[in-house]
Amino acid sequence: MWIKICGIRDLTTALDVAELAPNAIGLNFYHKTPRCVSIDTAARIVHHLPEAVDPVGLFVNHSIDQITATCQQSGIRTVQLHGDEPPQLLAQLSSARTGIRIVHAHRLGLDGLDPLSQYVEECAALKGKLAACLIDARIEGAYGGTGTTVPWDLLNRQYRRIDWPPLILAGGLNPENVGDAIRIARPWGVDVSSGVESVTAIKDMRLVKKFINTARCAFEQVTAGDTSSLDSICDL
């Protein structure tokens, strides 16, 4: 079970979210999103976070130098590559001896998981280390945060859990559908941003709490092998 609340922009929100005990929060360094955070703010957040909550830096087509410098200045040790980064960049980042863990985001489109299969194979051939793969919806001109869901049943059938890194499900998740998403897709983890906002880029703590509680309950029920009463049990 792994739960991440992404798009945190300030220390107060970060600490409020951390009190609800997700596994990770996301700090977005992509300048074209309203959820972008400065390196200085990220460093303050990382400094004050409890050890149990992992700060994940989200990057979109940044260079290796930009990624490593941002991580060094902020204290981030896990990065999420959410752009069009080639396997070669991931391999170079893995070999930089920085201790950085890498999550690769795959935007799922009409071509399904074939591009992901090729990407994972190329990374392995280049000795690039992937901590997890995050699946989001492919929307032309966007790099996530669109609120669009992916086909959960396709992931359940076609994601090669034995051969590929752990699956993190994103894309259009919210407190109302995350239980079904976990039950159908069977991911290792879930990631949410806009689905816990009542105003763009502003986290609603009521929604964050419900999302975390519902996701945690759903994971526990799926692990136990009992999903018959999941909807009623997880309606918190």
The catalytic site residues sit at 6, 136
Q: Is 202 exposed, middle or buried (0-12, 13-18, 19+ CB in 10 A)?
A: middle
Query: Would you say 71 and 100 are in contact if contact means Cβ atoms under 8 Å apart?
Result: yes
Helix (H, G, I), strand (E, B) or coil at 49: coil
Query: Which amino acid does the sequence have at 48?
Result: H
**Could you give the CA distance from residue 102 to residue 84 in angstroms, rounded to a whole number?**
14
**Could you give the CA distance from residue 231 to residue 190 in angstroms, rounded to a whole number?**
18
**Could you give the CA distance from residue 80 to residue 100 in angstroms, rounded to a whole number?**
10
Query: Would you say 190 and 178 are in contact if contact means Cβ atoms under 8 Å apart?
Result: yes
**Could you give the CA distance from residue 21 to residue 146 in angstroms, rounded to a whole number?**
25
